[in-house]
Structure 1
Amino acid sequence: MAETAGTSKAALWTGRILIWIPSLFILSGGINTLRHAQMVIDGLKQFGYPMSILPYMGTVALLGGLLALIPVTEVLGVILLTAYLGAAALTHLRAEQAIWYMPVLFGAILWIGLYLKEPRVRAVFPLNR
């Protein structure tokens, strides 16, 4: 793939890595959710969610993770993952767990990666003085 106009090679690769790492974590979580892994079922019970949301949770995680890994659809994937991570952060806040910041951190890493990699995102959110 050709280098994106206005993006250095270092920024492009840093952005890719910052998108890939959280996306792969969430993708693996989506796979575990869709296969009804015991740790996912235990988490649902702990937070008081019904088992009926498993297919929706797994689909959003899987779809968002896959879309974020494909350069053409990465913006849509990051948006889906942001929504997914927002729900995760809220769940931890409601349970008064100190780990609520981890989904927020993952979301920030995704957006920093997208910002570095994608000139269209930089155009919408310029950091000029």
Structure 2
Amino acid sequence: MSISQTAPVSSGALWTGRALSTIIVLFMIFDGVIKLPPLDIVTQTMTQLGWPADANAARLLGIIGLVSTALYALPRTSLLGAILLTAYMGGAVATHVRIGSPLFSHILFGVYLGVILWGGLFLRDLRVRALFAN
């Protein structure tokens, strides 16, 4: 099934997709921006998660998150951004599994974000619907 054969996106689905995507974009902007200075709470949290207490490591993660988020927010590159953000979330899940964090509140948080991310993209982008229709 090609994009032209995919049913058009209804107004409700489009706005729901935009709202879900906005939640992800706002969360990831916050997550990325706090890692840039980085704040003491970021360094302390990274140490608790087994990451080095290195400002450059936090900045690098912040930049990766922000660039991936920008790609996700732009319609032309949203699929690439979704893939990169999914990888980013996978790293967060792996980090929490490694240190034995609680399952539903910490380990699966990245999975929850990934479901919202892909759900938002599915609802707002015909190309993604076409991928899943085949």
* Structure 2 length-normalised TM: 0.84
The one-letter code of the counterpart of 2:9 is T
Alignment-derived partner of residue 89 in structure 2: 85
Asked if the contact 2:35/2:61 (under 8 Å) is kept, the reply is yes
Alignment-derived partner of residue 95 in structure 1: 99
Kindly, what percent of the aligned residue pairs are identical? 40
Match of 1:32 in 2: 34
CA distances 1:89-114 after superposition (whole Å, capped 9, x unpaired): 11111111111111110011100111
- In structure 2, what is the Cα distance between the partners aligned to 1:14 and 1:100? 26
- Report the RMSD for the aligned CA atoms in angstroms: 1.6
Report how far residue 23 of structure 1 moved: 1.8
Unpaired segments ≥5 residues, structure 2: 1-6
Give me the whole-angstrom Cα distance separating, in 2, the residues matched to 1:47 and 1:28.
Answer: 19
Shift of residue 121, structure 1, vs aligned partner: 1.0
Superposition map of 1:1-129 within 5 A: 6-50=8-52, 51=54, 52-98=56-102, 99-126=106-133
Letter in 2 for 1:82: T
- Per-residue CA distance 1:38-57 (angstroms, 9 max, x = gap): 12101111122121422320
- Residues of 2 paired with 1:43 and 1:76: CA distance? 29
Q: In structure 1, list runs of 5 or more residues that go unmatched.
A: none
Q: State whether residues 22 and 106 of structure 1, in contact with CA within 8 Å, keep that contact through their aligned partners in structure 2.
A: yes
TM-score (ref. length: structure 1): 0.87
SS in 2 for 1:23: helix
Q: Partners in 2 of 1:77 and 1:37 — Cα distance?
A: 26
SS in 1 for 2:114: helix
**1:71 Cα deviation from its structure 2 partner:** 2.1
Query: Number of aligned pairs?
Result: 123
Aligned-partner residue type, residue 62 of structure 1: L
CA distance in 2, matches of 1:91, 1:16: 29
